[in-house]
Amino acid sequence: MKLDEIFHLKKNQTSVKTELVAGFTTYITMAYALLVIPNVLKFSGMNAAGLKGDAAATLSILNDPVIASIFTATCIISAIGTLIMAFYANLPFAIAPGIGLTAFFSYSVCLNLGYTWQQGLAAIFISGVLFILITLTSIREKIIDSLPNNIKLAITSGIGLFIALIGFKSSGIIVSNPSTLVAFGDFKNKNVILALIGITLMGILMARKVKGSMLIAIIITTIIGIPLGVTNIDGIKIFSMPSSMAPTFMKMDFAGLLKHNGTGVFGAIISIVMVVLTFSLVDLFDTIGTLVGAAQKANMILPDGKIKNMKKALLSDSISTTLSAMFGVTTTATYVESSAGIAEGGRTGLSSSVVGILFVLSLFLGGFVGIVPQEATAPALIIVGVLMMESIREIDFSDFSEGLPAFFTIVMMPFSYSIANGIATGIIFYPIMKVITGKHKEVHPIIYILAVLFILRFILLPQ
């Protein structure tokens, strides 16, 4: 059979029917990303008016060609990345722009650091090329070996808190307060009420382990928003032709990176290194963590302890990231939701090829996505944050020289509203704590180099 020759179904003890069901399950579980990504990226200024932050909150795919372009690009790059994973790595994993990395792009790179979205895409392209190079060489192993395990775990947990905070803020549940910094929003506000309904519904479905919980909750919350006057259904079109990618295609601004904020070439380079390293490291460890966790459930761990086709999987991800910057979306990641399909028996690239095809078909749903309010997608950020916090239980807080850097890595992300600041703070304090406790031999030389670079970034560049 042709499919067996391509995907080695018998060798992997699976069947066409099982792989098809697994692929559909993975898609349903992660399709929420197609709704969330455009809603997060618009805050970076990726919209026709160039509005950033709260000013972009009410913008919609229905009437903004740039946001519509983001949706198209998200569908296409997700399809391409997932199909590369399917046919090159022959693994049941799906790829799409990462939620945490998209939040980092909009809220840290563009809002906090002041980069334009075009400059941010240039940084993503560089990180994608870097990811390809370190995957093809031994550098990847060296970087993985250099970072302390507790810092790796803390990065995941910290990103969880960070994107949860973004979800609470964009839904109006948490607002700024001059006296206490933050406070609860107005629970009588219809937008906040809708967001709370969404969180509750999504939480119930997740707890009941309903497949496609996030997507189902987003759709139901959007429908509930109609009588509340939050969901705008004027001119609704469930099916529509794909929007043009022209507003975001090949818009990377490399020259602008070296002139950013007038800090001079040296200052710009330090800032760029910080941003690119963050994109690369978060993507690397997020992908590796997903692959390891899902591979264990699917019995894809080889006798030597390595993951089957790990290098090909990482290369698929890094190629997708490079292409994503060209198309106009953020760093891609291997989605942990792929484990839903694996739980249904998915073992080969046939299941992920199904996901890729469904991403292509999603191009024609832009009209539906356009009516989904941010109050319906914000709960997904909060729930993803909950899922990412799971790794915190594995951090060793009993050793204070390990616990303090891990703690700073976690809390500085939401407290400073920056994933990069959290990573930098943890890496700076790690060698300090180890040296003063006489454990300097536990610190890899690369960590010292990174710590110095991050210290220079805080001293020389405006925060």
According to DSSP, the residues that pair with 97 across neighbouring strands are: 332
Question: Where in the sequence is the domain holding 405, given as residue range(s)?
Answer: 2-460
In three-state form (DSSP H/G/I as H, E/B as E, the rest C), the secondary structure along 224-288 is HHHHHCCCCCCCCCCCCCCCCCCCCCCCCCHHHHCCHHHCHHHHHHHHHHHHHHHHHHHHHHHHH
State the pLDDT at residue 448.
93
Sign of CA dihedral 379, 385, 390, 392: negative
pLDDT band at 113 (very low <50, low <70, confident <90, very high): confident
Find all residues with CB under 8 Å of 122, minimum gap 6, and list them.
252, 253, 254, 256, 257, 325
Give one word for 409, left, alpha or beta, with left for phi > 0 and alpha for psi -120 to 50.
alpha
Q: How many domains does the chain have?
A: 1
DSSP 8-state symbol, 55: G
pLDDT value of position 437: 94
pLDDT tens digits for 439-452?
998 999 989 988 88
pLDDT at 311: 83
185 — pLDDT class (breaks 50, 70, 90): very high
pTM for the model: 0.79
Q: Output helix, strand, coil percentages for the chain, rounded to the nearest 5.
A: 70, 5, 25
**For the residues 391-418, what does the mean pLDDT come to?**
91
Give per-residue pLDDT as tens, 211-248: 778 888 988 999 999 999 898 877 677 777 888 999 99
- Between helix 419-436 and helix 149-171 the angle, nearest 10°, is 150
Crossing angle of the two packed helices 310-327 and 264-297, in degrees rounded to 10 = 130
pLDDT at position 111: 87
| In the predicted structure, residue 205 carries a pLDDT above the cut 60 | yes
The stretch 286-314 carries a mean pLDDT of: 71
Taking the mean position of all CA atoms in its chain, how far away is CA 172? 22
